[in-house]
Amino acid sequence: MSSKERPTLGGTRIKTRKRNIAAPLDPAAFSDAVVQIYLDNAGDLELIAKSIESSDLNFSRYGDTFFEVAFTGGRTQPGTTKPDEGERHPYSIIESEPKREVILPSVIYIQKILRRRPFLIKNLENVMRRFLQSLELFEENERKKLAIFTALAFSQKLSGLPPETVFQPLLKDNLVAKGLVLSFMTDFFKEYLIDNSLDDLISILKRGKVEDNLLDFFPPTKRSNEAFSEHFSKEGLVALVEYNEKKIFEVKLKEMKSALTTQITEEADTSEVIETVKLRVRDAKLPDIEVVRVLWDVLMDAVQWSGKNQQQNANAALRQVKTWAELLNTFCTSGKLELELMYKVQMQCYEDAKLMKLFPEIVRSLYDQDVLAEDTILHWFRKGTNTKGRQTFVKALEPFVNWLEEAEEEE
């Protein structure tokens, strides 16, 4: 062979790789087969589950279709909840009565299917998301059945169903504006709380990323805390109303604390800080006791504490008390509030090791600045009810109390 001739593969067969040809999807045939299982077993979910388990149906390809059949009795048209062509059965969730005892067997049935085929949870998510995004296409009693199913699914801890899948699709503007979402969530709350605590419900709402936005379920024209309380009180969900009121209170308290922290850090004029507190108290209707607690927390948080130097800590604390005595005086307007302030000082000194020995000095300073009255200090000393560190603090305060009692006798 010369150097210019090219080698050939004469007589050699070259094999070509065959392409994988996927079988065409046939959801209609799958749907009809599942429907027939329902019909053959006359809606007995125990028998249906066994028949499905022993079948060779391709659930990995037609998972969405399976849940469409379970929920509506047959296949639905792509992207809608409308029935598609093909066989149907009358034993679906949508065709059942809107009662928990009727719908619960369907939840347990789906739980069994998911335990055998856990990959189907994604298909359940897909179908529930589609149905919830299309609530307006269902009748009122059908929406109630979906709400009961959803509540029971979470109550029974249906395998891996994420709350976010359920709640986020509901927040479509048109559904919210029509009041459909509020109605659905009300049914959901009422049903779920039959077997579960409010803490369990809040946990689910947190995982669904809606716990801080419950008002978003209300139509824009009714989106107020007053409307929230009125609606859920009327529905018998008083615990939810109380939870929401507590949450509002905590937010307003946090906002006041943040505003005061800024002013005190920037050494604003005392009169300006007092006006800020009065404005916040009036707008948020904050209880006097909470105001006193917040004031002390903010004042002490603003102190530049020394790591080890006890005398520096004492000087810093006493300087802060003296600087803001007028602020404390303005809102410690009764013996009850003064006693609450003493309990706050007691708890802070008990919980913070570097302040443990400062309790008597702080109390003495508050007395000197006319924030605490003699009667308040004596009452705390003799009848105080907070036991945290009390024995230690009573002993430390005893010399000052003796002095007060001696001065009282001389008068």
pLDDT tens digits, 137-196: 999 999 999 999 999 999 998 877 889 888 988 999 999 999 999 999 999 999 999 999
If you compute the radius of gyration of the chain from its CA atoms, what whole number of angstroms results? 34
Mean pLDDT of 381-387: 89
pLDDT at 63: 93
Task: Please check the confidence at residue 18 and state whether its pLDDT lies above 80.
Answer: no
pLDDT at 17: 52
pLDDT at 77: 75
Please state, for a pLDDT cut of 90, what percent of the chain lies above it. 70
- Please give the structure tokens belonging to residue 60: 């990995």
Contact, 329 vs 363, CB < 8 A? Answer: no
Please identify which residue in the block is written with the tokens 């049935």: 109
* Mean pLDDT taken over the chain: 89
Task: Please check the confidence at residue 254 and state whether its pLDDT lies above 80.
Answer: yes
Cα 409–chain centre separation: 57
State pTM to two decimals: 0.76
Mean pLDDT of 197-219: 93
355: amino acid identity, one letter:
L
pLDDT band, residue 80 (cuts 50/70/90): low
Nearest to 341 by CA among 315, 321, 319: 321
Task: Please check the confidence at residue 282 and state whether its pLDDT lies above 60.
Answer: yes
Residues 6+ apart with CB under 8 A from 203: none
Task: Please check the confidence at residue 131 and state whether its pLDDT lies above 50.
Answer: yes
pLDDT at 22: 44
Task: Please check the confidence at residue 284 and state whether its pLDDT lies above 90.
Answer: no
The CA distances from residue 77 to 10, 83, 99, 116, in Å, are 57, 6, 27, 27
pLDDT band, residue 213 (cuts 50/70/90): confident
Mind listing the pLDDT tens digit for each residue in 214-239? 999 999 999 999 999 999 999 999 99
Contact, 133 vs 169, CB < 8 A? Answer: yes
Mean pLDDT of 356-379: 93
Residues 6+ apart with CB under 8 A from 338: 332, 371, 372, 373, 376
pLDDT at 384: 87
pLDDT at 353: 80
Mind listing the pLDDT tens digit for each residue in 300-316? 999 887 766 778 888 88
